[in-house]
Amino acid sequence: MPNATFDDYDLTKFCRLDEIGLEATGQHLEPGRAVLACKVADPDDWCHRCGSQGTPRGTVVRRLAHEPLGWRPTTLHITVRRYWCDDCAHVWRQDTTAAAEPKAKISRRALRWALEALVMQHLTVARVAEALAVRWNTANDAVLAEGKRVLINDPARFDGVTAIGVDEHVWRHTRRGDKYVTVIIDLTPLRAGTGPARLLDMVEGRSKKAFKTWLAERDQAWRDQIEVVAMDGFTGFKTAAEEELPEATASWIPSTWSVWPGMPWTSAGGGSSNRSTATVAARTILSTKPDAPCSPGPGCSPTGSTRGSRTSLTVTTTWRSRPPGRSTSTWSPPTDSRTGRRARR
């Protein structure tokens, strides 16, 4: 160690190979890629059957795509030793499951990098595949499996949820197959003012059955703690929530397509609003806090009704027949900026 601040250079730690049970033994650098020669840190030379010490019988090389270093695709050439047991004639190889799943082509560190790049840095699967120097299908399948293991299979993601939102999303733009998915969002941080909303789950299809089945899969204790369900005007979601969450308050969020595109949507009182649906949704959720007054933003017309100690909110939209001070003979409905056609009532 030259001084108390810096350690000796270590390629293994720099490339984070120690996290996956490997040691770097060499490197080969080119302008377009990097290759790291590695070996398994654990000798694993004891027989897995009888426990006797094995005899080395050659090596094999396993190649894995690693997280890119210096924006160059990095490949690991792992030397895996084979052993022979003289007592029971058992043959085995060094265990490399810490580095990657059996038959996988991407290391665990590369999977973590790809998942973070896709979710946090908003990279596309094509860009991730290019950085790892693998095919698109290989990167896509690996990232989906890792995301399901880390995110979807984590039971703790349902802890502390008291307000949820449900809506449909078009994810497939083809003529074949169901193009809709039902998206369930955790609105608890938004309602409590502690942070943004977060994704809970996505279910294929857009129907009462899809949402009802998802709710039925949750345990009763979790369903009992849900206080607010925010949704648009689709009656299927409303019916499913009433059947599976009878004690929850249903809040209707006006959709961006509930009125003609480009038209100001107004409340029953006649005041117009140009605020986005997300803003209205946020204020609707905030107004459904326990013991909180119903105070949505402009464009919402609350109708006071209570269920227990909670406050429900109904948002209505109406057409304004004409601007104030204009006669019906001289006023005509505005036109849609995209199609040039007049809006119909």
Q: Other CB atoms closer than 10 Å to residue 113's CB: what's the count?
A: 20
Query: Residue 103 corresponds to which amino acid?
Result: K
The token pair at 72 is 């160059």
Is 251 or 332 the better-scoring residue by pLDDT?
Answer: 251
DSSP assignment letter at 40: E
Q: CB–CB of 299/275 below 8 Å?
A: yes
Higher pLDDT, 320 or 195: 195
Supply the pLDDT for residue 153: 80
Q: What is the strand order of the sheet 228-231 is part of?
A: 198-204, 180-186, 163-170, 228-231, 249-252
How confident is the model over 206-230, as a mean pLDDT?
Answer: 93
Give residue 332's pLDDT: 52
Q: Look at residue 18 in the predicted model and tell me its pLDDT.
A: 95
What mean pLDDT comes out for the span 307-313? 39
Q: How many CB atoms lie within 10 A of CB 334?
A: 13
Q: How far is it, in rounded angstroms, from Cα 76 to Cα 155?
A: 33
Distances (CA, A) of 250 to 161, 205, 307, 314: 15, 21, 11, 9
Between 31-40, 223-232, 241-250, 276-285, the lowest mean confidence (pLDDT) is in: 276-285
Quote the pLDDT of residue 274. Answer: 40
Q: If pLDDT is split at 50, 70 and 90, which confidence band does 199 have?
A: confident
Q: Is the pLDDT of residue 273 over 70?
A: no
Which whole number is the average pLDDT over 268-291?
Answer: 44
Q: Would you give the distance in Å from CA 296 to the centre of its chain?
A: 29
Task: Report CA Rg, the chain.
Answer: 29
Say if residue 184's pLDDT is above 80. Answer: yes
Q: Which residue has the tokens 């030793």?
A: 81
pLDDT tens digits along 74-123: 999 999 999 999 999 999 999 999 999 999 999 999 999 999 999 889 99
pLDDT over threshold 80, residue 219: yes
pLDDT for residue 90: 94
| Burial bucket for residue 179 (CB in 10 Å: 0-12, 13-18, 19+) | middle
Q: Averaged over 6-31, what is the pLDDT?
A: 93
